[in-house]
Structure 1
Amino acid sequence: MNLNDNPSLDDLKQLFARLKDKNHNHILWVCESGAVHVDRLPGGETPEQFEQRHPSLRIRFKTYNKGGGYVGKSAAADEHFIRSVHAALQEHWRLAGRQQQPAYVDRYY
């Protein structure tokens, strides 16, 4: 999924649906090319360390803790959640080119 290609809600649902919620924490992030990723946060690594390991990171959302229902099929089926994440991705991507530092998104409605 790439934000430069005007992704749909279904694109985002597919990205979330392929993940498992019960085993790992995950981070939603966007690189400088506009590609959207949801990656497992390695055990013992902080979100800040993850950010440092990914120099192309432009936007990072709060960490989705395992078991919280923020990734997986149930998250993908939550229309309000998906719409909120989609809107936040679009808005922060629009602003990302003007920012020196990566954006951190911890709230979206």
Structure 2
Amino acid sequence: MNKPETFTIDAVRELIASKDDSQHRQLRVGEDGHVYLSDVIGNLELEGVRFALTTWLQGNDYVGAQAARDEKWVGDVYKAIDHHWTSGTRGVTDEMF
């Protein structure tokens, strides 16, 4: 997030595709702007995390190759990350766009 040139729809698509849908995941953004998918979920181990989206439950195609092909989903995740970063959201949020 601190390097706007690397925060693209394609980067979000790659992130979503980087994990499979076999367990719960959580999208987190660190204080340093690093966006990642965490296997630690909920409100656990949030030190250094600026914000996190609500846990994505396994088996619902929130992550994985199929999820990465869903243009609307990828766009919604991209918009949510951008919104929460620019508005200064802190903690876990369930607000998607």
Which stretches in structure 2 are left out of the alignment for 5+ residues?
Answer: none
Residue 4 of structure 1 aligns to a residue in which SS? coil
Q: Distance in 2 between matches of 1:103 and 1:78?
A: 27
Q: Which amino acid aligns with 2:28?
A: W
Matched residues, percent identical? 26
User: Does the aligned pair in 2 maintain the 1:92–1:103 contact within 8 Å?
Assistant: no
- Equivalent pairs counted in the alignment come to 95
In the alignment, structure 1 residue 67 sits paired with structure 2 residue 59: yes
Runs of 4+ in 1 over 6 A off after TM superposition: none
TM-score of the superposition, structure 1-length normalised?
A: 0.80
Counterpart pick for 1:79 among 71, 76, 80: 71
Query: What letter corresponds to residue 26 of structure 2 in structure 1?
Result: I
- In the superposition, the TM-score normalised over structure 2's length comes to 0.89
- The corresponding residue for 1:106 is 94
Give the letter aligned to residue 85 of structure 2. Answer: W
Task: State the partner residue of 1:15.
Answer: 15
Matched-pair contact (CA < 8 Å) for 1:14–1:76: yes
RMSD after superposition = 1.4
The one-letter amino acid paired with 2:52 is R
Tell me the amino acid that sits aligned with residue 35 of structure 1. H
| Distance change >3 Å, CA 54–CA 103, structure 1 → 2 | closer
Q: Which structure 1 residue ranges, 5 or more long, are not aligned?
A: none
Aligned residue number for residue 39 of structure 1: 38
